[in-house]
Chains A and B, each alone.
Chain A
Amino acid sequence: MKPMVPDREYPDFYYEKLAELLGEDRARWARLPYEERMKELAWYHANFNTPDDLSLWPAELDGGVDRP
């Protein structure tokens, strides 16, 4: 799989900001090359039910609120 858009290069500041906004793990993930990012995501998909899959109603019909 190739990225749909070329990966941009960001300064460390961006990844620090990402860690602040979304957590250290997502900032670590963002630093990986595209192929490794997708491999990790595929593993999550294979092993976990992700939140949207637990939603009975589509987001615009239940407000997209966080579900347990």
Chain B
Amino acid sequence: MSGDLEFYYIFRDAMTDAGISFALTSGMACVEYGIQQNTKDTDWLIAPDSVELLREMLCRFERGLSGRNWRIGYRGLFGAPLDRDYLANGWTSHLAIWDTPDSVEHHLDFFVQPPRLSAGAALEGAAEAIAHRLVVAQMKKTNRDRDWPIAEALAYQELLSGNGEAVLHLRDPEALKDAWGLCSEDQRRILLARRPLLAQIANPSPKILRLLAAERGLWEEVNKLRYGRYQHEWKAFLKRWRAEDEFAWPVSVPFARQHELVVRAADVHRLARDPLGGLDGRVAIFEEAMNHITSIFALDPMEQKLVAPPISEMLP
């Protein structure tokens, strides 16, 4: 029997052998980086072109023709089908795998375009099948209090290794100054466009802590509104699907058949591929979040500009 920790090594090696481009991210990536997380789930970034390969690999393993004989299924709340069109629009797919008859149920989540990152950026800098520390940090800008110190710890690791880009995720004025000092002029221009508040780093105003708090508040609010769109879409889809006379889910059939069922359901019951609604939808989320933060922190127009990263950074 493999425990959750052994299993993610097994799964990593299997994906490597199958020629899949991927990287481990989120909680287990933090564990690998020496930041303790107790989650048993594993989260995987998959290159858009590798989604089909992954699905084929899973079907092969379930058929037991390759030496492995896994049981694989979508979880009850499966997110979206393991399909490039959905995953490239920010959905995730949630699977359960049993790799031996007495195995525990391993939970795996798959992303192509994770929150706050484009598909291309997500795999940038990944080495040894693990997402770059700053990619994980960007994913951790959620509205969970417990994620922010983790993002910052990852940024400290980069700072102490001489990577000035840590400045995107640090929140302590002194550490920000240190990281800023590591950046070239060219780098600074790029980083400033991604995080306008860096303009305050060399000579921080007495308001800097308030502005840092407002900036975090904006990320949190955008995340809350973002997931709200996915949640609303999924619940409405499930309601429509459940209204079918023959509705049955979850079902105990091979993974390939489960996949056909969820693809058909997503198609027939109109699970939107992009619940954020393109650029207009993203602008609407950003503006709603900005209005909320402006009223809480009483930001003036100049401060609003300082605390707001571009939409492309928050909702790519």
A: residues with CB less than 8 A from B are: 1, 3-5, 7-8, 10-11, 13-14, 17-18, 21-22, 26, 29-30, 37-38, 41-42, 44-46, 48, 50-53, 56-66
- B5 contacts A45, C-beta separation under 8 Å: yes
- A66 contacts B144, C-beta separation under 8 Å: yes
Residues of A within 8 A of B143 (CB): 63-65
Residues of B within 8 A of A11 (CB): 160
Residues of A within 8 A of B191 (CB): none
Given contacts A46-B3, A52-B39, 6 further A-B contacts (CB under 8 A): A1-B9, A5-B127, A37-B36, A52-B27, A61-B231, A64-B144
- B34 contacts A7, C-beta separation under 8 Å: yes
- A4 contacts B129, C-beta separation under 8 Å: yes
- A60 contacts B227, C-beta separation under 8 Å: yes
Q: List 8 A-B contacts (CB under 8 A).
A: A3-B32, A8-B34, A13-B160, A18-B153, A21-B149, A30-B35, A37-B34, A45-B3
- B38 contacts A45, C-beta separation under 8 Å: yes
Rounded to whole Å, the gap between the CB of A40 and the closest CB of chain B is 8
Residues of A within 8 A of B223 (CB): 63
Interface secondary structure of A, over-half rule: helix
- A38 contacts B5, C-beta separation under 8 Å: yes
Which residue from B24, B77, B150 sits with its C-beta under 8 Å from A4? B24
Which residue from B24, B38, B75, B230 sits with its C-beta under 8 Å from A60? B230
Rounded to whole Å, the gap between the CB of A9 and the closest CB of chain B is 9
Rounded to whole Å, the gap between the CB of B150 and the closest CB of chain A is 7
| B167 interface contact, C-beta 8 A | no
Residues of A within 8 A of B227 (CB): 59-64
CB nearest to B79 among chain A residues:
A58
- A22 contacts B36, C-beta separation under 8 Å: yes
Residues of B within 8 A of A44 (CB): 38
Q: How far is the CA of A32 from the CA of B157 in the complex (A)?
A: 16
